Chains A and B, each alone.
Chain A
Amino acid sequence: MSASGVPAAVPDTVARAAATPGQPQPSAELGLTSEEYARIRELLGRRPTDSELAIYSVMWSEHCSYKSSKVHLRKFAESAPPSPALLAGIGQNAGVVDIGQGYAVTFKIESHNHPSYVEPFQGAATGVGGIVRDILAMGARPVAVLDSLRFGPAQAPDTRRVLPGVVAGISFYGNCLGLPNIGGELAFDPCYSGNPLVNALCVGVMRHADLKVAEARGPGNAVILFGSRTGPDGIGGASVLASATFGGTDSAKRPSVQVGDPFTEKLLVECCLELYAAGVVAGIQDLGAAGISCATAELAAGGGTGMRVDLDAVPLRDPALGPAGILMSESQERMMAVVEPGNVDRFLQICARWGVLATVIGEVTGTGRLQMTWHGEQVVDIAPGSAADDGPVYRRPIQRPAAQDALLADDPGALARPSTGPELRATLLSLLASPGLADKSWVTEQYDRHVRGNTVLAMPQDAGLIRIDEETGLGVALATDGNGRFSLLDPYAGAQLALAEAYRNVAVTGAVPLAVTNCLNFGSPEDPGVMWQFAEAVRGLAEGCATLGVPVTGGNVSFYNQTGAAPIHPTPVVGVLGVHPDVTRRVPIGFAAGGASVVLLGRTSAEFGGSAWAHVAHGHCGGRPPAVDLAAERALAEVLTAAAAAGLVEAAHDLSEGGLAIALAECCLAGGLGCQVSVPADAFTQLFSESAARAVVAVRAEARQAFAGMCAAHAVPAEVLGTVGGDSLVVTGSFDIPVDELAAAHRGTLPALFG
């Protein structure tokens, strides 16, 4: 055994494996249980070779096989609303959605949590690289990325190590790759100490006809590996790193983190798009988790064929790498294509033009077997489906945590509340300056938002908006949202609230929500309490998507986000994609037109369980999260999109963390103008409650009547609070805060913490 847990390069052939059934094998070190190891022996009718063991260990890892989540994730497909827009769904590298005018978009969010804790810069960088290749593999040109980030307390010393590294890694990779970063999230909570969440979303665009499949069809077709050389980095990333909790020796896991080369990825993107355009790709798969093991097994299983691979042909960065290491390596910036023999020369020519290394490493066969040789000897002979599709499936024990009732009973109603004008004023400023709600420019200024010239909206807007067609103005909007506190209190409701918020954020811009991706970040699935949280969140999200009529097109599960016995808050992060019919009619959040009416849409009640106020002012998280009303969310979205299309609103902003007070402050800061509003009695509740299905809009004076009619037609409560103008945020009879003072509170926090 070498230090990385990979058997040394002694050829362990199929024949030898058959002849030496009793040879001890490092299955436990590779993350396999004894039952799983026994199952492999049973499937093969002999012990696996070292190479085969390597394949099964990564393919059957939690990260690749979804063995603990599969039985729950089926709900997404079972309860999916019928959607004619869905061109490819769950199970593909990413879902593909028809957005009209012959265009389709593909999008997906994925976690890179564990690597980002062990090595923040490379961990986060390669998270971007990985999701971009997923999108590329569908046949699309990647056009934008978003990042959803969660860290421990902003003041904690380790956060100062992890956060700047993660942000620099995303900046390094995404900027050099030339993809605009248009949105995402940044949140802090002690539960993410030692378990930061780094979720990256990528969206790509293609014409309908360009859709590609991850299938190896046609015996005799060449299998071409192209992109970077294979090296000893990221070995076991999917198994020993992503599918285990952290303990005491985490720095030893650093070799399991991959190293990113965004320049090569940029060339790979342009090269792939040229290969697609030339029509020389019969099937394609990116190499991500589980590297060559995954690509070969999935392509062959997907095509219902077999594959013969010569591992000696794989270009190596380190000649000492043996077959098992080659199979487990997660070296970045690699793709695998299936190419008809007559197209191989043209394929290699295009790669050469882009300076991309491309090598024929095997061919598709009709044997139904995945067979690999190394140094002329057979080291792998398995049924590809046994690794790709027939992994173990677990129905993990589920138990509602005993502490859940106490958590729900810990009502925030007992907390001391501000009531006087000066108290409310101070509360607003302290929330606005709290790390989770403070201005994120320290982070977002490190990302290129302009490259490719189609970014219509980006941070700090509610959603990112990318123009797809310069002639027609067609575009797509994307938002990611999640709230670990809500999900802790009630994972079913928490997942629906995350969905509702992302859905609302997309609608605020004027886009029509169309499809959903999700990244489900949880603790250990071996903890029945965590599995209860997971099952509830999936059920909530699946039912929520069905009610809102937006299908889940794909996503990712990240378990084992825990150090020792303490899991993170359950954190389902939901990405919603919407189609914008005309991006010139986008609605920004900023108050920039004096005289417009400030109108609050939706109903407000006293809902403070898991709120930003309870968290910031009292360090409290208890009670019930805000009530979910998906019918109201849908009606609100219909009003927002119709008003945008009719050009009735100057600005619109969703209400979420910090409620109306924070939303108004953000509208003033983004547009540079103040506003004067009146709120009904119990100003505290009106200003800081986090009731869902609400938004604040600025309506042009001459459009007020038409807008009121639109709200009435959709039964959306609309209340005129006041007027945009002046240089202060004024709550009549309560307080007055100059916009400059808001800005100072909002903008000082992150630079003071991170330099």
Chain B
Amino acid sequence: MAARMGVITFPGSLDDVDAARAVRYAGGEPVPLWHGDRDLRGLAAVILPGGFSYGDYLRCGAIARFAPVMTELIPAARAGLPVLGICNGFQILCEAHLLPGALTRNAGLRFINRTVRVRIEGTGTPWTRDYSQDQEITVVLKSGEGAYVADHATLARLTASGQVVARYVGGNPNGSVGDIAGVRSEAGNVVGLMPHPEHAIDALTGPGTDGLGFFSSVLRTLVDG
């Protein structure tokens, strides 16, 4: 039986269908989770997809962080549940203080949809173990508030403890400090990524298949333990 993974739909989630497809392509079974349900349905891993939860009219992710499903997700994540936040999902995880730092307006103040190269620097997470250390991959960036920021102490700690999961290479597209494209929690089970690996799972509809590794990694984690 395929491993089952949850994909949360908040009001305004947009890439939930894409995240579900990526889980399928990697050999898993996606299970939809609804923002209004205080229930993770016993799933062993959860993805918070991209989009504009609640329109992002306030600070991105600031409202979604209070959704009923988050009251279950936050303690589960602190207890070790593998959680991946992509784009808006990353913003929500930062707002929920499951990940350090915050995402702010792009340096150019415009939304950017561009194919980017990122280097996987942290392979010790359940979401990145199928990549090799410092492997460069091609994925899609599409965000208006994707500039990662954190204070000096946090940055120093992230670097020292290897919590930077991915950095942009070949140019910083949005002004993220230290070219940071993704980070993980101290324990490593929670990962946030600004670019979209779920849009790089098929050369027909994206820049290649480099993004599949995030989904195959967690499936292998769920199967192997």
Contacts and interface: CB of A to CB of B under 8 A. Distances in A.
Contacts of B206: 450, 453
A358 B18 CA distance: 30
A175 interface: yes
Contacts of B56: 176, 263
A355 interface: yes
Contacts of B205: 450, 453-456, 467
B118 to A, nearest CB: 16
A504 interface: no
A267 B11 contact: yes
Contacts of A176: 12, 52, 55-56
A266 B21 contact: no
Interface in B30-73: 36, 50-52, 54-57
Interface in B176-204: 196, 198-199, 204
Interface string A164-177: 00001001100110
Contact of B111 (A175, A261, A355, A755): A175
B129 interface: no
A263 B12 contact: yes
A178 B204 CA distance: 20
B114 interface: yes
Interface string A259-277: 0011110110000000000
A349 interface: no
B111 A584 contact: no
B46 to A, nearest CB: 20
Contacts of B210: none
B110 A448 contact: no
B113 interface: yes
B140 interface: yes
A448 B112 CA distance: 8
B96 interface: no
B220 interface: no
Contacts of A168: 110
Nearest to A583: B204
B14 interface: yes
Contacts of B51: 178
Contacts of A446: 110-113
Contacts of A172: 111
Contacts of B140: 450
Residue from A168, A261, A451, A755 whose CB has the most chain B CB atoms within 10 Å: A451
A453 B17 contact: yes
A445 B112 contact: yes
A449 interface: yes
A445 B52 CA distance: 18
Given A176-B56, A455-B205, A354 B11 contact: yes
A111 to B, nearest CB: 24
A584 B55 contact: no
A400 interface: no
A451 B50 CA distance: 9
A267 B142 CA distance: 21
A467 B205 CA distance: 9
A448 B55 contact: no
Contacts of B114: 445
B198 A453 contact: yes
B182 to A, nearest CB: 18
Interface string B1-34: 0000000000110110110010000000000000
A448 B18 CA distance: 13
Interface in A155-206: 168, 171-172, 175-176, 178
A80 to B, nearest CB: 34
A450 B55 contact: no
Contact of B199 (A445, A453, A584): A453
Contact of B113 (A447, A456, A583): A447
A48 B55 CA distance: 42
A450 B112 contact: no
A266 B57 contact: no
A395 interface: no
A451 B55 contact: no
A452 interface: yes
A176 B51 CA distance: 7
Given A446-B113, A449-B113, A456 B204 contact: yes
Nearest to B206: A450
A314 to B, nearest CB: 23
Nearest to B24: A470
B199 A178 contact: no
Contacts of B204: 456, 467, 583-584
B217 to A, nearest CB: 20
B20 to A, nearest CB: 9
A453 B21 contact: yes
Interface in A715-746: none
A175 B11 contact: no
Residue from B14, B17, B54, B56 whose CB has the most chain A CB atoms within 10 Å: B14
A450 B17 CA distance: 12
Given A171-B111, A467-B205, A451 B12 contact: no
Contacts of B50: 451
Contacts of B11: 263, 266-267, 354-355
B113 A448 contact: yes
A445 B18 contact: no
Contacts of A353: 36
B14 A178 contact: yes
A755 B109 CA distance: 11
Contacts of A447: 111, 113
Contacts of A583: 204
A261 B17 CA distance: 22
A171 B15 CA distance: 16
A264 B55 CA distance: 8
B52 A451 contact: no
A261 B54 CA distance: 11
A176 B52 CA distance: 6
B14 A450 contact: no
A451 B110 contact: no
Nearest to A754: B110
A692 to B, nearest CB: 31
B111 A262 contact: no
A445 B55 contact: no
A354 B11 CA distance: 8
Contact of B55 (A263, A449, A454): A263
A176 B14 CA distance: 8
Contact of B142 (A448, A452, A467, A755): A448
A445 B57 contact: no
A175 B15 CA distance: 11
A447 B142 CA distance: 8
Nearest to B14: A178
9 contacts: A263-B12, A264-B55, A267-B11, A445-B114, A450-B199, A450-B206, A451-B50, A467-B204, A755-B108
Given A451-B50, A452-B17, A453-B205, 8 more contacts: A176-B56, A178-B52, A353-B36, A445-B112, A448-B113, A450-B113, A451-B18, A755-B108
**4 closest pairs, A vs B, by CB?**
A263-B55, A178-B14, A453-B18, A176-B52
